Amino acid sequence: MTSDTTAAAAPSFTPREISAVIWGALLAMSLAALDQTIIATAMPAMARDLGHVSLLSWIVSAYLLTSTCVTPIIGKLSDLYGRRRMLITALLVFMAGSVLCALSSSMIALILARALQGVGGGSLITLGQAVIGDVVTPRERARYSGYFSVVFASASVLGPTLGGFLSQYWGWPWIFWINLPLAVTALFIVDRALRKLPIQHRHLPIDYAGITALSGATVALLSVVTLGGHQMAWTAPGTAALAVTAVVLAGAFAWIQGRAADPVLPPRFMADKVMKPLLSASFVIIGTFISITVLAPIYFQVALGLPASESGVLTIPMLVSGSITSIFASRHSTKSGRYKRPPLIALPVAILALVMLALTATHLTPLAAAAIFAVIGAGVGPTYPSSSVAALNAVGARDMGAASGALVFARALGSAIMIAVASALVLALAAEALPDGGANGLEGLVQTTLGAEARQTIAQAFGVMFGAAAAMLCIGLALFARVEDRELRDKPHTAPATGE
């Protein structure tokens, strides 16, 4: 049976076939995860070769915009047209974007190529999770969910190092060329391993209006948080226009979803006792944690005066500890058949660590700060696999891709917004102590020579931000506590789950 064959029930996979699917999904997701981090240390070389330094931030922003927009859309399309077909398409798009990036001879060309690459990258993250839901039972799925956290943590550690090495010794285009052999390998594995997956063949019209409204709202909102305070003032008419556009299109999207024959984001998700609080909790918890991981190196460099190389090393324990606790959470879910307890136990630990960090941010040693960050990572780590398992356990086979896309979208959107808010908070509190009032953003402070008094002020601002992050995690914990703890089934999805 090929993936183009309709089947009434989920096909059975041998252990060898499941292993092949898992490795293919992990490899595909690692490509997307690596491309989010490998770019950072190569950007100075890109600016040197291509010029237009003022556009440099768009190399990251273009990827962020398209990868976030595509996640709920590709998830829904994979429910309609099959996971294998969409995953192959995503890999081909990602490869095409990588080639165009490597061949770019101008900054504009590189930004456009990164936007295309983001379409493929965002799709790979969504589909990688959904594919696991197709081949193993909900209870067994918990065993593999922790691996995804390891993939992203590894990419966060290896990406900047690999990007710096390749751009220094081989040239920055090689950070994109290296994607091709990995993508071809993933393509070969996916093509063979997923042939048994059926397509549901629901002959319903594609929700083009919903796709358009959601994409427009996401682009407008992310443009506000990306450009606000940098290229455009928060009070500028352009910023206000983008914000109003985002609100109007978001309202239009909600209206369309209630009337579409087969909506991108089914309204039944918002009535489900797992999906509704889970999406909100993921937005807050993961968004807050990602903002901490992004700003932690800047705290080490600007507030504590460490060089970039050391600040990067000191953030590794936070990523590693999160991966370790996510694996333990996955094992707990597999054995117990439940997913809710690990985050409820671990998140309060992260909150307490953030409170301690907030109170001591001005006089911590680098090693002590790294230790506290590691505790924060350990406290948030279980949320990743638990939320993934809960989402895919809550829906039936027809909504597996849509649920995966909605969860990834909530995480990505929350991350973008929380990073912008946290950065703006630190800059606003420290503006008077900065030579340019913080006009160049937090990243610009890394390149600025600051006196002891200015560093102390910035450390105090970071302390307030860490306190605000603790408050946000408290909100996230309250939201997660509302998630219904349904038992993980031992049989594959063949019909809608309870609560749909």
433 secondary structure, DSSP code: G
Q: Which pLDDT score, from 0 to 100, does residue 289 have?
A: 94
pTM of the shown model:
0.84
Q: Which pLDDT score, from 0 to 100, does residue 140 have?
A: 76
Q: Which pLDDT score, from 0 to 100, does residue 203 have?
A: 59
- Band the pLDDT of 494: cuts 50, 70, 90: very low
Query: Per residue in 234-268, pLDDT tens?
Result: 778 888 898 899 999 999 998 998 888 778 888 88
Topology alike, domains 1-204 and 267-500: yes
- CA dist 426 and 442 (Å) reads 8
Between the CA of residue 322 and those of 122, 151, 335, what are the distances in Å? Answer: 22, 12, 20
- CA dist 285 and 476 (Å) reads 5
- CA dist 307 and 479 (Å) reads 38
- Listed residue (460, 125, 480, 153) closest to 304, CA to CA: 460
| Placement of tokens 């356990």 in the chain | 393
Residue 201: pLDDT over 70: no
Beta partners for residue 228, in sequence order: 232
Query: Per residue in 22-67, pLDDT tens?
Result: 888 888 888 888 887 788 777 778 888 887 776 777 888 888 888 8
Q: What CATH number does the domain located at 1-204 have?
A: 1.20.1250.20
The set of residues, in sequence order, having a beta carbon less than 8 Å from that of 484 and lying 6+ positions away, is 273, 274, 499
Question: What are the sequence ranges of the domains in the chain?
Answer: 1-204, 206-261, 267-500
Choose between 375 and 336: higher pLDDT.
375
Query: Per residue in 426-474, pLDDT tens?
Result: 888 887 766 665 555 666 666 666 777 878 888 999 999 999 999 999 9
Of the ranges 34-38, 122-126, 175-179, 279-283, which is most confident? 279-283
- CA dist 364 and 303 (Å) reads 10
What percent of the chain stands above pLDDT 90? 28
Of the ranges 59-73, 133-147, 421-435, which is most confident? 59-73
3-state SS track over 54-98: HHCCHHHHHHHHHHHHHHHHHHHHHHHHCHHHHHHHHHHHHHHHH
- Listed residue (207, 135, 125) closest to 397, CA to CA: 135
- CA dist 171 and 168 (Å) reads 6
Q: Which pLDDT score, from 0 to 100, does residue 447 have?
A: 60
Q: Which pLDDT score, from 0 to 100, does residue 230 have?
A: 67
Lookup: tokens for 144: 């593999």
CB atoms within 10 A of CB 69: 25
Choose between 447 and 220: higher pLDDT.
220
Query: Per residue in 286-339, pLDDT tens?
Result: 999 999 988 888 898 888 888 877 877 888 899 889 989 998 998 888 888 889
> 267-500, what's its fold?
Growth Hormone; Chain: A; (1.20.1250)
